[in-house]
């Protein structure tokens, strides 16, 4: 399956401001690219590329005063298969985890593991420790939390979501991540493209999406507490402890969003037999 992915966003700056964008696909998907993946800017400004501590590809630059446009369109080859699954996968004993996995068991900005440990144990300790437990967590969050863009706020944490039972994509994932960590399963936040491929079109405009990954049997597996079903065409862009680590755009100064468009769709006639459809529309930067 060939996917067309891209974005077009415009910001207004009253004065020059340092910025960092995480808008390129994750290094794990670089081999699938069929066209160059570069961040185009109007007006053109000097940029520096670097990898952060989580291995995400970042673009650093100084935005000039005035309007700045960031855009890109890429073609990427995808298997066309739903998210990989292994229902019998078990979790690792914490003492046997690789060193680099330990940080994904700890509390972070939006994931208060210590505050929700008791609730996690009460709700899920009776499940088998591994895939079964993660799926139980996913299903519980999916059923108990109400989705709505009007519920978004940048300071909302997992504890807030547990208390309020409402939020956007990122909130669903933060709560699920927190439950997993509290029960000894390494979990990280993931963000990227997820178009309406193989599913009915969503009534809301296309946006970047959030999901989470858990470490079971020596690899990361994708889970999605918002949709709670395997999806086709999920393309990773960045991972981190929570949303604070994977912001698509960070401005160290005031930036006013003027336009935002995301595209994630199957290229019809590309040789794929899988059904698919995409959408293109303005949307808020919330996931």
In three-state secondary structure terms, 13 is: strand
Both tokens of 131, joined, read 């895939």
Q: Provide the pLDDT for residue 281.
A: 35
Examine the domain organization and report whether 104 and 211 are in the same domain: yes
Residue 287 counted as domain residue: no
Residue 38 counted as domain residue: yes
Count Cβ neighbours within 10 Å for each residue of 144-178 and write b for 16 or more, e otherwise: ebeeeeebbeeebbbbbbbeeebbbbbbbbbbbbb
Examine the domain organization and report whether 39 and 70 are in the same domain: yes
Residues 6+ apart with CB under 8 A from 42: 68, 69, 71
Examine the domain organization and report whether 66 and 141 are in the same domain: no
Q: What CATH number should be reported for the domain holding residue 135?
A: 3.10.620.30
- Average pLDDT of every residue of the chain: 93
Examine the domain organization and report whether 263 and 240 are in the same domain: no
Examine the domain organization and report whether 55 and 108 are in the same domain: no
Residue 274 counted as domain residue: yes
CA distance 184 to 177: 11
Q: Are strands 234-240 and 187-194 parallel, antiparallel or unpaired?
A: antiparallel
Residue 86 counted as domain residue: no
Examine the domain organization and report whether 226 and 101 are in the same domain: yes
CA distance 189 to 241: 6
What is the span of the domain harbouring residue 26? 2-80+247-282
Q: What is the number of structural domains in the chain?
A: 2
Count Cβ neighbours within 10 Å for each residue of 42-53 and write b for 16 or more, e otherwise: eeeeeeeeeeee
Examine the domain organization and report whether 129 and 193 are in the same domain: yes
The one-digit pLDDT tens for each residue of the chain (287 residues) are 999 999 999 999 999 999 999 999 999 999 999 999 999 999 999 999 999 999 999 999 999 999 999 999 999 999 999 999 999 999 999 999 999 999 999 999 999 999 999 999 999 999 999 999 999 999 999 999 999 999 999 999 999 999 999 999 999 999 999 999 999 999 999 999 999 999 988 777 788 999 999 999 999 999 999 999 999 999 999 999 999 999 999 999 999 999 999 999 999 875 544 333 333 333 333 33
């Amino acid at each position: 399956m060939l996917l067309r992915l891209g974005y077009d966003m415009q910001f207004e700056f009253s004065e020059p401001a340092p910025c960092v964008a995480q808008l390129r696909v994750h290094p794990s998907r670089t081999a699938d690219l069929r066209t160059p993946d570069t961040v185009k800017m109007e007006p053109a400004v000097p940029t520096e590329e670097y990898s952060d501590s989580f291995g995400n590809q970042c673009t650093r630059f100084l935005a000039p005063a005035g309007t700045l446009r960031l855009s890109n369109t890429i073609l990427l080859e995808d298997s066309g298969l739903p998210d990989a699954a292994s229902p019998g996968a078990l979790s690792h004993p914490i003492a046997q985890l690789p060193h680099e996995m330990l940080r994904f068991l700890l509390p972070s900005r939006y994931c208060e593991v210590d505050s929700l440990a008791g609730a996690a144990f009460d709700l899920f300790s009776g499940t088998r420790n591994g895939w079964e437990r993660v799926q139980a967590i996913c299903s519980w969050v999916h059923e108990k939390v109400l989705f709505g863009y009007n519920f978004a706020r940048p300071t909302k944490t997992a504890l807030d979501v547990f208390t309020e039972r409402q939020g956007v994509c990122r909130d669903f994932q933060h709560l699920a991540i927190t439950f997993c960590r509290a029960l000894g399963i390494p979990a990280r936040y993931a963000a990227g493209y997820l178009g309406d491929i193989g599913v009915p079109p969503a009534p809301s405009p296309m946006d970047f999406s959030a999901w989470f990954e858990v470490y079971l049997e020596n690899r990361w597996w994708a889970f999605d507490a918002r949709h709670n079903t395997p999806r086709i065409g999920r393309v990773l862009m960045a991972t981190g402890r929570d949303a604070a680590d994977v912001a698509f755009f960070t401005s160290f100064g005031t930036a006013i969003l003027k336009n935002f468009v995301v595209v994630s769709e199957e290229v019809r006639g590309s040789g794929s037999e899988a059904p698919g459809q995409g959408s293109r529309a303005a949307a808020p930067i919330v996931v």
